[in-house]
Structure formats: C-alpha cells, structure tokens
Amino acid sequence: MSATSSRDPRIGVFDSGVGGLSVWREIVRQLPGCDTVYVADQAHIPYGPRPLEEVRQFAEGIAAFLIREGVAVVVVACNTASAAALHHLRRRFPDIPFVGMEPAVKPAVQRTRNGTVGVIATPATFQGELFASLLERFAQNVRVIPQVCPGLVEAVEAGALEVPETEALVRRCLEPLLEAGIDELVLGCTHYPFLRPLIERVVGPGVEVIDPAPAVARQVRRVLEGAGYSEAALSVGIPRHVFFTTGDPAQFAGALSRLVGVTAKVDRLMWEDGNLRAERK
Ligand code: DGL
C-alpha cells in the first residue's frame, strides 16, 4: 500500500500461549484503532525446551494462518519463536512485515551502573543466533548472565501468579543472578511480565526490571506508518479483537479475563499436517 489508508489495519499476534498477551495489551494501548488477531499455540506449549527447528515449523504454520486472516503485520510475541524463526519467516513470507521479540540486552547494558545484567528466558531463546548476536553487538564491556527459569511459563499458564510455589520457583531462578550482583533484569520471555510484581518483590528496589513490550508496540506503529496507515486509522475507531487457541478455548478465555481484563469469545484452531484450520462447529 503506498497511499495513506484510512482503513483500520489488522495486527496478527502469536505466542505459544498466554504470554504474548503481555505484548498484545501494549499494542492495544498504543494503537487503539487497530483490529487484532491473536493465536495461542497451547497444543504445543511450552516452546522453550523444544528444538529450534520444531518451533520454526509451528511459527510458519501460524504465520500462514494469520496472513490468510488478512493481517497487515505479524508480531511474533514470543522470544522463543523469534529466536527460532524470525529470519525464516521474513524469507518465507517476504510481502508481510514481521516484528519479533528479542531480550532487551541493549537498554539493560545502557542503564546498568555496576556492569552486571541478568537475562531470564527459555533454553531455546539462549540457543538461537539472535541472543549470541545481541551479546556480540551490545555487551562488550558488561557482564550479561543468562538464566533459564524452569516452571515459570507453566505457572503463568495455570494462572498461579501469586502462590508460594511460584514464589519459590522465582526465588530459585533469580538467586544466582542476585548473588552475582545484577542491577538490571531483562524479562526475556513474554510470559514473565505477568509475574512482574512477584519478581520485583524478590529482586528488591536495587534491581531495575525491563520488559521490552512497550518498545515492540512502538515498532509495530512505525511499521504500520511505513506501510501508509494514517494516524486516524491507527488510533481512532472501534477495534475488533479475535482470539484463537490450539488448546482449550474456555481455559484461554479465563486467562484473557484474568490477565488482561478482556471478556471475549475464543475459537479453536486445529493443526493438520503443519497447517492451521478453524474448527467448524
Ligand atoms: N512466551 C514465550 C517466550 O517469550 C515462550 C514460552 C514457552 O512456550 O516456552 O519465549
């Protein structure tokens, strides 16, 4: 599209589960005129411990579905899928812009006062080339400590945000980082912002917690502006938000209301030979 469009763009957003809603809510806050389509691949959650190649195949199937839904941009609201598949998706679907997640190493390195930064993310996120390249580009004179946090994605999926078991998991995962003396903590998985109050309690006021979602939403705006959408199309209107899961729609609807205060119908998607199709009722 070259001329300015007043049509509301649709933004596609996906994650393995509810984590991407931490990015979705920021997109909706910054782009209140845009429609959205959200896909949660809960049939395959968690992505984090899976081989990158497998996550890449899921990401490709979901992106193809979102493109068939007519989205103007696809937001890979999942650090794991971004690490595994972002370059591949851009090559495979060259006509659609993709916005991905990456651990916010750059701002953390800029802000650290003592030169020690912690990053929490899934194993696959740390394995990808993306993380290695972030360290190479931005972390020359700073110690960046990667830490995986087994169980946290599952706790957020289960809605167990403020229970003693989750607090114990958070303490166990952050302990080595606190012992190392970090003063910046990067949330490198989109599920973790829902645990932010708990994480902030555990790390205390001396550690700044960084969530990249606001920066990602700003990037989505830049991409849509670049595609010719007008300020009015991005900011004004009554948006339509639709939600799909490959898991249990009732469970996802409960999480939607608990995590982001949205009441909406959720539709089921089925995987069939690597492709997604909506279940006919
Ligand atoms: N929310 C995802 C991320 O940002 C991954 C969670 C998972 O499925 O392991 O990495």
183-212: pLDDT as tens digits: 999 999 999 999 999 999 999 999 999 999
* Residue 128 reports pLDDT greater than 90: no
Share of the chain above pLDDT 70, in %: 97
With a cut of 60, say whether residue 5 has pLDDT above it. Answer: no
User: Band of the pLDDT at 1, cuts 50, 70, 90?
Assistant: very low
Among 45, 55, 76, 78, the mutation site with the greatest number of ligand 1 atoms within 8 A of its Cβ is 78
- Ligand 1 proximity of 122 Cβ (cutoff 6 Å): yes
Ligand 1 pocket residue status of 81, Cβ below 6 Å: no
Atom nearest to 48 CA in ligand 1: 9
* 62-90 average pLDDT score: 97
CB of 42 shorter than 6 A to ligand 1: no
Average pLDDT over residues 43-71: 97
CA distance 82 to 122: 12
Residue pLDDT, tens place only, 202-261: 999 999 999 999 999 999 999 999 999 999 999 998 999 999 999 999 999 999 999 999
- Tell me the average pLDDT across 6-29: 93
CA angle 109, 119, 171 (to 5 degrees): 130
Any atom of ligand 1 within 6 Å of the Cβ of 48: yes
Confidence band, pLDDT 50/70/90 cuts, at residue 281 = low
- Does 45 sit in the ligand 1 pocket, CB within 6 Å? yes
pLDDT of 92: 98
55 pocket-lining for ligand 1 (C-beta < 6 Å): no
**The pLDDT of residue 4 is above 50:** no
Task: Report the chain's mean pLDDT, rounded to a whole number.
Answer: 95
Catalytic positions: 78, 189
> With 90 as the cut, is the pLDDT of residue 6 above it?
no
pLDDT (average), residues 135-156? 95
Q: Which atom of ligand 1 is nearest to the CA of 78?
A: 4
Average pLDDT (47-61) is 96
Confidence of residue 279 (pLDDT cuts 50, 70, 90): confident
Taking 80 as the threshold, does the pLDDT of residue 2 lie above it? Answer: no
Q: What percent of the chain has pLDDT over 90?
A: 94
Q: Measured in angstroms, how far is the CA atom of residue 148 from the centroid of ligand 1?
A: 11
Each residue's pLDDT tens digit, 90-120: 999 999 999 999 999 999 999 999 999 999 9
**pTM, two decimal places:** 0.95
| DSSP symbols for 43-112 | TS---TTS-HHHHHHHHHHHHHHHHHTT-SEEEE--HHHHHHHHHHHHHH-TTS-EEE----HHHHHHH-
Indicate whether 21 pLDDT > 50: yes
Burial 98-135 (b: 16+ CB within 10 A, else e): bbbbbbbbbbbbeebeeebbbbbbbebbbbbebbeebb
280 or 270, higher pLDDT: 270
Q: Which of 14, 15, 216 has most ligand 1 atoms within 8 Å of its beta carbon, as the pocket-test mutant?
A: 15
Nearest CA to ligand 1 atom 2: 78
User: Which letter, b or e, does each residue of 224-253 get, where b requires 16 or more Cβ atoms within 10 Å of its Cβ?
Assistant: beeeebbeebbeeeeeebebbbbbebebbb
Which atom of ligand 1 is nearest to 46's Cα?
8
Ligand 1 contact, 16 CB (< 6 A): yes
Report the separation in Å between the CA atom of 2 and the middle of ligand 1, taken as the mean of its atom positions: 35
Instruction: Indicate whether residue 84 lines ligand 1 (CB < 6 A).
Output: no
Domains of the chain (ranges plus CATH)?
10-101+214-279 (3.40.50.1860), 105-211 (3.40.50.1860)
Q: Looking at residue 3, what is its pLDDT?
A: 43
Q: How many angstroms is it from 248 CA to the middle of ligand 1? A: 18
**Closest by CA position to 156, among listed 17, 250, 61, 268:** 17
Query: Across residues 13-21, what is the average pLDDT?
Result: 98
- Closest residue by Cα to residue 135 from 117, 114, 111, 123: 117
Going from the Cα of 35 to the center of ligand 1, the distance in angstroms, rounded, reads 24
Atom of ligand 1 nearest to the CA of 121: 10
